[in-house]
Structure 1
Amino acid sequence: MTDIITVTKTGRTTARISLDGVNGTCSQQALKTKLQTAESLYASKNPGSKAAHNVALESMPGGNTRSVLYNQPFPICIKRGQGNRLWDVDGHEYLDFMGEMTAGLYGHSNGTIREALISAFDQLGVNLGAHNLEEAKLASLLCSRFQSIEHIRFCNSGTEANLYALSVARKVTGKRKVIAFTGGYHGGVLGFAHGVSENTVDPGDWVLGSYNDQANLSSLFESHDDIAAVIVEAMQGAGGSIPGDLGFLQSIQSLSAKHRVIFILDEVMTSRLYPSGLQGKFGLHPDLTTLGKYMGGGLAFGAFGGRKELLQTYDPRQSSALPHSGTFNNSTLTMAAGYAGLSKVYTIQANLELNALGESLRTKLQTIAKGTKMVITGVGAVMTVHFLEHGRTPLRVEDLDHHSIPELKKLFWFWCIEMSYWIAERGMISLSLGTTMKDVDVFVKLVDDFIAEHRADLKLENSA
């Protein structure tokens, strides 16, 4: 074999190439060439999606109204969904492994949800502009499922839920600042992927910490006496499906109590990962919990709940109460679908079975990816496939910022689309009900094939 050439970029080794092109890992340029080939194949097989995108460009910036769904060179346009399958405008069928970023838990045509929606439409009417019987039923069910939630109020998204929870904390404590964590995502205007973003609300009121770093956490509490709340996910979902260390989460809880800070646990994504959410799985007792995504039966939904005395902040019987508006907060369709989904479909047993299936998938992927740059993180039925130069776990946000290989991630996404598995471009996988062990095993085999085909690209620098 001829010598190995090290290719560097910005002072850091990024790839190596064998001069004979047989052994060793491919150069960065070779990897980009593979990516260009995959992109060309994608474009040639999806002319209908390209045409649909061009039409959308005429009336929407970027032809898009939800940034995370945009893909280069153009996004796939889905025509319809049924069960856990999708069909695009070019007639390709996909097994849905993205599950609408955790919100599509019930799939696209669940019969029980459909019956609840039709019944509510026919027998109750839509948007009554008044209290209805369905809202109390759903509220009672949620309070019974989450031990920390004594009272609860509804809204229309996880973003809203977190904004309202923060307003409770600020009202109760009389303080403004909030501890959040780099890599965290709490809604469209509450994102901290790389710090405080340009569209984050109240940009001057955030104190950012390092996720899973107990020493840093302690220093934040000790050095600030004007903290109203700390908001955290027990697994950073959009941040890469990075699970929180139990000790770190317990420290947030204990330090919050010590410093009289409101502990807000964002379970908008993670509530589906255990019958009582990750707070139940990990034995946490947050002051406030935020919910959303699938809990409206697939419709737009959010909720914030917790200790009764905190929720009085929004009790309209109190003269000092904050106003809580929202035309669709108690929509009959959403209330009925949410109640039917949680009481009849996503039962405790169904929850445990789906998340066990997810654990099986992640374990199998980790096994075949061992010793490569592919790393899989997550909890239960939600996970993310990463490609990192060092290939190590556990992961921190810093690893994703400094060691990710975006070309491999995009190449993997093109591969999954070509093989008829629908996942997020960022590598996120969220299993929906109806997924079978056969679906999982076929996907594992396809990923194993990807590893075999791109073994040179995935080889760790220090491996033999």
Structure 2
Amino acid sequence: MVASVEPVLDPKAAAVLQAAQARFLERNPTSLQIHQDASRSMPGGNTRSVLHTAPFPVSMARGHGYQVFSEDGHTYTDFVGEFTAALYGHSHPTLLAAITTTLQQTGLNLGAQTRAEAAFAQRICTRFGLARLRFCNSGTEANLHALGAARAFTKRRRVVVFRGGYHGGVLSFAHGVAANNVDVDDWVVAPYNDAAGARKVILDEAERGKGVAAVLVEAMQGAGGCIPATKAFLLAVRAAAREVGAVFVLDEVMTSRMGRRGLQGAVDGLDPDLTTFGKWLGGGLAFGAFGGREDVMAVFDPTKEGALAQSGTFNNNSLAMRAGLVGMTEVFTEEVADEFKGVGEAFLRKLRDVTVGTKATFTGVGTVISLHITDAGVRDIVRIDEVEERDDLKDIFWMEMMEEGFWITRRGMIALILGTPKSELDRFVECVKAFLERHKDLMVL
């Protein structure tokens, strides 16, 4: 998702990387064997692209609480957090009890509506200020169905999105429109965090005659490097969408965990027409949802003639409905959400402090953040496509943090898990500081 440069001009970095890779190979022989076995039945040994890493991916055996344990016998503090979905950690006792009870007393899927789905839907609507809501199975599906609603409601096709954005496996806009995106001819890509530029794109597209069905944006680009949107940008996009009669869709698949009402709760007057959800809200199970204005969501009302069909065998599966509801009401309450966001903000401040004067910085909001390393030492990144990342230095960081017992994504994204001890957060800050000192000839400006 992030622009990068290959390590071809820095022999010092190449030597350090080569040494780190040698240690990586020595530490993870079982993972190598698992990868080789997987490659016999899956292309490249992979079925989830984001998990592929060179020289091969590390395989995990199990997780417990805030930790994961590799097949090679290493214990890690989990900072991957299943890319924000593992907010509750691994086998949280409250959720484990809810899932076990549901399996024993309710069953998996009943092929019918249940009391649980109505209760869960009402809780989400109340918490996020939605008039109506529908469930699905992932954030990708949530965004696809939200756009389907917008197109049916407006009777238009074109959708304005933003460079660097990611809204699911077939809705990726890191460097324009990805080759495997759906509806490849219906996207209009605008600049992120550029209020005037975004407004111009939206209005120009509306004037071309085809009109704009929807404007889809993240309040923080997650896969695109954890780049927060400015309030001015979001409000300008909202105003332009309203001006041209487009449906304003806010993707909170990753960010709905940031405070009691997600990131939209931090921007007065944002008031999206539709919001999309996923990740943590299913209590760790596959989950998606979308909702908002009653008139827009009414396009799915099966009591009305000509309604859109939005089916899915597992949309209202018993486990996700119960685990999601219990998670929201008994574990990640509104008060806990606000408190946890504060924990993340304090952590981010410390990381930014120790990286001053170096090529490294951290961006993000609350408990979802990302490392960036640039030769220019850019501190405040507003558009990820305008910076070039040093992937060689990020690879060194990734491997050395694993040696310190931290499991983070190779690209540098961190999603904190509830219950991670403060001592581990502080230890990570110290490990970052030590990394910068150890490699000051590579990292100091």
2:217 is matched with 232
Residues 179-212 of structure 1: CA deviation (Å, up to 9, x unaligned): 0001000000001111100001101100001100
Q: Distance in 2 between matches of 1:154 and 1:123?
A: 22
- DSSP-derived class of the 1:265 partner: strand
User: Larger relative CO (CA 8 A, sep 6+): 1 or 2?
Assistant: 2
Q: Distance in 2 between matches of 1:354 and 1:438?
A: 15
Q: Distance in 2 between matches of 1:97 and 1:240?
A: 15
- 1:242 equivalenced with 2:227 (yes/no): yes
1:253 is matched with 238
Q: Distance in 1 between matches of 2:410 and 2:382?
A: 20
- DSSP-derived class of the 1:227 partner: coil
Q: Distance in 2 between matches of 1:318 and 1:78?
A: 49
User: Runs of 4 or more off by more than 2 Å in structure 1?
Assistant: 400-403
Query: What residue ranges of structure 2 are gaps of 5+ in the alignment?
Result: none
Summarize the Cα distance change of 1:401–1:72 in structure 2 as closer, same or farther, 3 Å threshold: farther
- 1:163 equivalenced with 2:144 (yes/no): yes
- 1:78 equivalenced with 2:63 (yes/no): no
Residues 401-431 of structure 1: CA deviation (Å, up to 9, x unaligned): 5421111111110111111100000000000
Q: Distance in 2 between matches of 1:75 and 1:215?
A: 42
- DSSP-derived class of the 2:370 partner: strand
Q: Distance in 2 between matches of 1:92 and 1:440?
A: 19
TM-score under structure 2 length normalisation: 0.96
Q: Distance in 2 between matches of 1:434 and 1:265?
A: 29
1:205 is matched with 186
Q: Distance in 2 between matches of 1:185 and 1:84?
A: 27
- 1:266 equivalenced with 2:248 (yes/no): no
1:439 is matched with 424
Residues 289-319 of structure 1: CA deviation (Å, up to 9, x unaligned): 0000010100000001001111111111111
Which of 276, 280, 303 pairs up with 1:290?
A: 276
- Root-mean-square deviation over aligned CA pairs: 1.3
Residues 76-130 of structure 1: CA deviation (Å, up to 9, x unaligned): 0000000010101111000001100000000011011011111111111110000
Cα shift at 1:394: 2.4
Query: What residue ranges of structure 1 are gaps of 5+ in the alignment?
Result: 1-11, 16-26
2:97 is matched with 115
Q: Distance in 2 between matches of 1:85 and 1:277?
A: 25
Q: Distance in 1 between matches of 2:359 and 2:291?
A: 41
Which of 449, 452, 460 pairs up with 2:434?
A: 449
2:391 is matched with 406
1:64 is matched with 46
2:410 is matched with 425
- 1:391 equivalenced with 2:377 (yes/no): yes
1:21 is matched with none
1:4 is matched with none
User: Is the Cα–Cα contact under 8 Å of residues 12 and 442 in structure 2 kept in the other structure?
Assistant: no
2:317 is matched with 331
1:322 is matched with 308
- Quick one: percent identity of the two aligned structures? 46
- DSSP-derived class of the 2:166 partner: coil
Cα shift at 1:393: 3.2
Q: Distance in 1 between matches of 2:110 and 2:372?
A: 46
Q: Distance in 1 between matches of 2:203 and 2:331?
A: 45
Cα shift at 1:258: 1.3
- DSSP-derived class of the 2:12 partner: helix
User: Is the Cα–Cα contact under 8 Å of residues 292 and 302 in structure 1 kept in the other structure?
Assistant: yes
1:215 is matched with 196
- 1:302 equivalenced with 2:288 (yes/no): yes
Query: Number of residues paired by the alignment?
Result: 435
Q: Distance in 2 between matches of 1:248 and 1:59?
A: 46
User: Is the Cα–Cα contact under 8 Å of residues 390 and 403 in structure 1 kept in the other structure?
Assistant: no
Q: Distance in 2 between matches of 1:392 and 1:49?
A: 35
